[in-house]
Amino acid sequence: MKTFWINLLEINVILSLVYLGYVLFLKNLTFFRWARFYLLGGMLTGLVYPFLKARKVVQLPAEGVTITLPDLTASLAHTGTTSWEQWAVYILSATFIMLSARFILRFFSLGKIHTRSSRAEFSGHAFRDTHHQVSPFSFWKWIYIHRKAHSDPEMRQIIAHEYIHTRERHSLDVLIAEICSILCWYNPLVKLLNRSVKDNLEFLVDAQVLNSGIDRVSYQHSLVGISLNSFPGTYPGNQFAFKTLKRRIYMMNRNRSPKSRLVAYMLITPLVLAFAGLLTFSCQKETLDTIEKARESEGIAWEKAAGATSEKPELQGVELKARGKVSGLSFEATDHNLNGQVMVRGSSSNSADYLLILDGKEVDNQNLSTMKAENIQAIVVLKDKSAIDKYGDRGKNGVIEIYSKKSPR
C-alpha cells in the first residue's frame, strides 16, 4: 500500500512540475516544436520513471546495523492498512475505471464515424468524407471532414492544417495527455497540462500552415467561421477549431521569439530531471526510524548495532549482520549485501507441527541445521487458508517456505 501511494505521489509531482515549467518558461514563446518535445517527454517521464527505479536504498551508518528476524512461528501483527486508505483506493480506482470506460467509448464513436464515412480526395490529399455533420478533425493518419459543409477555400486550409497533424502523429501526444488526466483526475494542474499539450500542437500547426504560404487573415477568418458552425464531438483526436481560438490567433500574430530565449528551454529540462532524481532519492531513502515504524507490517526489526554512531552515513561498504531464529534454527552471519525479504500471508496461528519447505522440497529442522543464514534469500510464512489452499491437509498447521539464493524463484 505504501508503494502505491509513493508512486502516485511521484507521478503527480512530476506532471505538475512539467506543467509549471511550461507556464513559467515556454508558454509565451514561439518555440512550439521544442515545447512539444518538452511536454511529451515530461509526460512520459512522469508515467514511467517512478516504476523504473529501485524501490529501497537503505542509508545506514557505516559501522553496521543488526537485522533481527523474529520467530516466524509466533503470532503476527495486523498489516496496518487503515480503513481510510482502503476507501481512498476504492474511490480512486472506481473513478479511474469510469473515466477509462468513457475514454474507450469515445473510440467507439470514432469507429462509427469511420465506418460511416467514405474515402475522398481534395487537391491530391485523401480524407474521410463523413455522411453526417461533424467538425473537421484528424486522428492518427485519417482526416475526417463533412465535405458539404465547407467551401473549396476552407477545404484547402482545413486539409493543410490536418495533414500536418497526421504527418507528425500528434494523436500520440493527445492520447498520452488523456491518460495522464485519467490517472490524475483529481489534480487540476494535470488537467491544465492536458489542455496545454493540445493548445501547443495547434500553435505548432498554425505556424507551419502560415509558413506554407496561406494568407494569415484568410486562415484566421476560416478558423472563426468553422468555430461558429462547429458541432459537438465525443471522439479523440485533433480538432481544426477549438475553444481557445482567441489565444491561437494571438500566438499567430506574435513576433517570433529570439533564439537567445532558447536558454529557457535549456534550463527547464535539466531542472525537471534533477527534481525528479531528488524526489526519487527522497522516496527511496529509508531511515532507521521509518523502518522501525514498519516493523509490525513487515515482521522485520532493524536496530543499531552496538557502537554505531550518528555520524555522516554512507551508501557503500555497509556491513550488515543478520541474526534470527527460524523453526529452531538459530544463526548469526555477516553480509555486505544482504537483500533477503520476509513475506507473511494469512492470519496468525501458532503450532509446532508446521510444514517446512526448502526450495520446493519438504524438509525437517535437522536438514536446516547446516544451512547458513547468508544463503537465505526469502522466507514466506503461510497460515490457515493460504497454507491449506497450496499444500492441502499437510499445511493445516502452517507452512514455512525458505528459498535459498540458489533457488530459481
* Dist. CA 21–CA 269, nearest whole Å: 9
d(CA 198, CA 283): 32
Rg of the Cα atoms in the chain? 30
Question: Which amino acid would we find at residue 5?
Answer: W
- For residue 146, the 8-state DSSP code is -
Asked whether the beta carbons of 194 and 103 are under 8 A apart, the reply is no
* 48/178 Cα distance (integer angstroms): 15
Candidates 319, 161, 296; CA nearest to 240 is 161
**Residue 145 vs residue 2, higher pLDDT:** 145
Helix, strand and coil content of the chain, in percent to the nearest 5, comes to 50, 20, 30
Which of 112, 119, 46 lies closest to 276, judged by CA? 46
Distances 177 to 4, 77, 195 between C-alpha atoms, Å: 21, 42, 8
Counting residues of the chain whose pLDDT is more than 90, the rounded percentage is 32
Provide the whole-model pTM.
Answer: 0.63
Nearest to 172 by CA among 205, 197, 145: 197
Closest residue by Cα to residue 182 from 95, 108, 110? 95
Most confident of 71-85, 108-122, 245-259, 395-409: 108-122
- pLDDT tens-place string over residues 248-305: 888 999 988 888 877 767 777 777 767 766 765 555 554 444 544 544 444 443 343 3
pLDDT tens, position by position, 156-206: 999 999 999 999 999 999 999 999 999 999 999 999 999 999 999 999 999
- For residues 302 and 205, give the distance between their C-alpha atoms in angstroms, rounded to a whole number: 58
Instruction: Tell me the average pLDDT across 1-18.
Output: 86
